[in-house]
Amino acid sequence: MKEIMEYWPFLLPVIVIQVILAVIALVDLLRHKTYRFGNQFFWIIVVLFVQLIGPILYFTIGKRDS
């Protein structure tokens, strides 16, 4: 495990990006109450627990156009 830890400066930006995307998606989906399909609870789960792909799915097929 120690060896993996030495790569954390490289992993950090990746994690930061994932967190940023998840937060942006979360804020957006909390502000909009309706989606193209699924309910709010469903999308919160997807965005928070499916790394990277979750927010992408929300913005591409979940979010309703304004």
Partner 1 sequence: MNGLLAFTKKEFREHIYNYKALILLAVFFVFGMISPLLAKMMPEIFSHMSIEGLTITITEPTYIEAYSQFFKNITQMGIIVILLIFSGILSRELTRGTLIIVLAKGLSRHAVILAKYFVALTLWTISYSLAAIINFGYTFYLFGQFYAPNLLFSLFCLWLFGVFILAVVMMTSTLTSGNYAGLLLTAAILGILLTINIFPTIKKFNPVSLASNNIALITNTKSVSELLITIWITLALSSFCLLISLIVFRRKKL
Q: What residues numbered 13-32 form the site for partner 1, per CB under 8 A?
A: 13-14, 17-18, 20-21, 24, 28
* CA–CA gap between residue 57 and residue 63 (Å, rounded): 9
The CB-of-60 to partner 1 minimum distance in angstroms stands at 4
Mapped onto helix, strand or coil, the DSSP state of residue 2 is helix
SS (H, E, C) 34-46: CECCCCHHHHHHH
Residues found near partner 1 in the complex (CB under 8 A): 1, 3-4, 7, 10-11, 13-14, 17-18, 20-21, 24, 28, 36, 52-53, 55-57, 59-61, 63, 65
